[in-house]
Structure 1
Amino acid sequence: MSLLEDAWEQREVQIYPALFGGTGEGIYPLDNTIFSNQFNVEEIDPRWLHFGVFKCPPIATRDTWVYVTSGMSNPWEHVEPDEFSGFGMEFILETDIEYDWAIPIMRSLLAFNILVSVGHYGDKPLIDYGDRIPQSVAQNIASLLVVEPKLFPSSFQLTSGRVDLLQITGITVQELEFAKVQGSDELANKLFDCYGSFKIEPKRLSIV
């Protein structure tokens, strides 16, 4: 098999099941309408439709739902291993129960990062730790914050290179203002100290 095929299979057959206890009912892939309706992009690379999101249900050792992207770590352009595989990242999002908004949000972030990668937004960098993203998921969760996981590995290794896991959590308006002043890392630490995880709980109170 090619490096791409090896890495793809390794991630979805070996690594994801080991990390998340399975990959649920299958992938929720991107489609043309996400790019056209949300980002006003009509012409797409057919490879983008192989990116998607898995919904991993609770298991014996974890009572939460985990949504994880697939495709950003594909080494599309490489024939030899490199330091990082593809974009060198995948996103995860954890919730206390199954929510209808989780997959659309993850697919939207995935599509946005793809467009960033091809220069659609000029020199804008790929999504990274500490980024604050305006996206409401509930009345009191007004934005998303990208953090380094603490209850999941921060990275994994594919035959094609390293892949960092970027966790997406939710923050309130008050927490967003705190992060603007004190920094995203400081807020992330306070969130984890308070709740012991980065799972999104839409009804939780602000910690600041």
Structure 2
Amino acid sequence: MSKKGKKKEESSPEPGDDWEDWQSVVARRDLLISAWRARDELYKNLFGEPTSVTPSNYRPPPAIPSGKAKTRSPNELATDTADPGLEDQRLAIIAYGPDPVRPYWTYITAGISSPWLQGQPEEVSGFGCELMIKSPIEAQWPAQILRSMAFYLFNHAGTLSPGARIALNAPIAVNSESKLRNLVIWYADEAPDCWYQLPSGGFGVFTAIGITDDELKFAESIDEYGTWCIQQVLRQVGTGQVTNPDRESAMQNENIASITNSVTTFARQFKASSSSFEIS
């Protein structure tokens, strides 16, 4: 009976196409990790320490051990990506409780701007934004809305920018009678620079604001300045960028005629002055 020989160990990739593939995988993962850390530091500077995070295992994507290349076959290298493969880590919702500066709950995504498919820095990181919702009380619906918007972007390879209006076709809070059935996207007051840089590229911090059907109708009547106008109306009636599912429509305010007239007049004057401005 012959003596069984030892199994030949798989060698690590040698310089060449396979080695270049592996280097690309490692570079993408390193970029993903550095972007995660930079965004986390930015959030701490803007919002402070979070009150809660979902999922609870929120942390940087794991680095690829330097010795892992020795266990990779050429076929595996050809199909590998920088994605750490942790589905629940691709998007987190971070919650910040009220404080003297922000007397409301703030919920923001972390993951839409991650450079999942990038091998090097680009002008825009990931899908180019992170989204926020502000609520007067701690609630579950903000995270549900944010996840729905994020997964829509992931699945359709799109993005959202200030000015966008979104019909939810249902109350903003599930199983409620809320009259807020739409969203508008605008620049977040808490992120004054609007556009921020990660090692992988830039991204915007935008807020989603719930509005009623008649508020949406008003916004749609003001051409390209409609989203700005309805936001100014909400500010003047005391709602601002905070979304309260239980509120009544701003269009029912007793002073709404003078408020909308003032806002639309300003918008039209601004549009007229902008269109007549010429650079010499």
Task: Name the TM-score class by shorter chain.
Answer: 0.7 to 0.9
Q: Deviations for 1:105-158, whole angstroms, at most 9, x for unmatched residues?
A: 1111111111111xxxxxxx4222222222222522121111122343323221
Q: Structure 2 residue aligned with 1:16, among 43, 52, 71?
A: 43
Corresponding residue for residue 34 of structure 1: none
Corresponding residue for residue 161 of structure 2: 128
- Cα deviation, residue 167, structure 1: 0.6
Gap regions ≥5 residues in structure 2: 1-28, 57-82, 252-280
- Are 2:194 and 1:160 equivalent residues in the alignment? no
- Cα deviation, residue 192, structure 1: 2.7
- Counterparts of 1:193 and 1:164, CA distance in 2: 25
Corresponding residue for residue 189 of structure 1: 232
- Counterparts of 1:196 and 1:156, CA distance in 2: 27
Corresponding residue for residue 27 of structure 1: 54
Q: How does 1:55-134 map to 2 (within 5 A)?
A: 55-117=95-157, 125-134=158-167
Gap regions ≥5 residues in structure 1: 30-44, 118-124
Larger radius of gyration: 2
- Counterparts of 1:186 and 1:75, CA distance in 2: 34
- Counterparts of 2:229 and 2:100, CA distance in 1: 32
- Counterparts of 2:209 and 2:55, CA distance in 1: 20
Corresponding residue for residue 206 of structure 1: 249
- Counterparts of 1:142 and 1:78, CA distance in 2: 35
- Given the two structures, how large is their TM-score scaled by the length of structure 2? 0.60
Count residues with an aligned counterpart: 185
Residues 67 and 93 in structure 1, CA contact (< 8 A), matched pair in contact too: yes
Structure showing greater relative contact order (alpha-carbon pairs closer than 8 Å, 6 or more residues apart): 1
- Counterparts of 1:199 and 1:83, CA distance in 2: 31
Judging changes above 3 Å, is the alpha-carbon distance between structure 1 residues 28 and 106 closer, same or farther for their aligned structure 2 residues?
farther
Q: Which amino acid aligns with 2:219?
A: A
Structure that is richer in helix per residue: 2
- Counterparts of 1:55 and 1:28, CA distance in 2: 11
Q: How does 1:32-47 map to 2 (within 5 A)?
A: 46=85
Where does structure 1 differ by over 3 angstroms across 4 or more consecutive aligned residues? Answer: 45-49
- Counterparts of 2:148 and 2:112, CA distance in 1: 13
Residues 53 and 92 in structure 2, CA contact (< 8 A), matched pair in contact too: no
Residues 151 and 197 in structure 1, CA contact (< 8 A), matched pair in contact too: no
- Cα deviation, residue 47, structure 1: 6.1
Structure that is richer in strand per residue: 1
- Counterparts of 1:105 and 1:160, CA distance in 2: 26
Q: Which amino acid aligns with 1:17?
A: K
Q: Secondary structure at the match of 2:134?
A: strand
Residues 113 and 130 in structure 2, CA contact (< 8 A), matched pair in contact too: yes
Corresponding residue for residue 6 of structure 1: 34
Percent identical: 29
Judging changes above 3 Å, is the alpha-carbon distance between structure 1 residues 99 and 53 closer, same or farther for their aligned structure 2 residues?
same
Residues 55 and 67 in structure 1, CA contact (< 8 A), matched pair in contact too: yes
**RMSD value over aligned CA atoms?**
2.2
